[in-house]
Amino acid sequence: WLKKKNGYIGDTVWRLKEGGGVMYTVGEKVAHPMHSAGVIEQILPREEGGKERLFYLLRLCVGSMTLLLPCDSCGAVGLRPTVSREEAQNLLDRLGEIPVCQEGNWNQRYKDNMQRIRSGDLEQVAVVIRSLRRRDGQKNLSTGERKMLSSAKKILVSELALVLEQDYGQIEHIVEKTLV
């Protein structure tokens, strides 16, 4: 256990008084809006600039990558708890009804799509995927849009797979055939 001003840090949840953010527990499932969903593996103290800070060690469910995120700035990054099982299943069931947005020139579409991805809203991420898949069927995507499509798909599929406790490939297959 690590002794801090505001309590003991371990597997118990505490509020961070200085940063005002919620501290997640070890083992909790969370979603990073620009990477993917994962599980908090550890809460680690690190010295940074002469001050001790706490960091989350987040193991992403795609590619065994880990992230070290400062606990007090996770709100600014957009780290959030994953959606509930019911919300995930509801979204998976409604994927075919997700609207397509293709207005504007390349630059405007790219900005709009990045804003949707950064929002952390899985339905908005699905809009990006469906829109880019539709556009790819009509005319080839640029390299930037192709990378964006891949990233958006990883974000959506990883969270759905983690929450629904299903194989990544299985969820990816459902998303692929539904969001055409």
pLDDT per residue rounded down to tens, the chain (180 residues): 344 444 434 433 444 444 445 579 899 999 998 888 999 999 999 888 888 889 999 999 887 789 999 998 888 888 999 999 999 999 999 998 988 887 778 888 899 999 999 998 999 999 999 999 988 878 888 888 999 999 999 999 999 999 999 999 999 999 988 877
Stretch (H or E) spanning 123: helix 122-138
- Long-range pairs of 11-15 with CB within 8 A, sequence gap ≥ 24: none
Question: Which pair of structure tokens corresponds to residue 177?
Answer: 């055939």
Taking a C-beta distance cutoff of 8 angstroms, is the pair 33, 89 a contact?
no
Cα 34 to Cα 39: distance, rounded to the nearest angstrom: 15
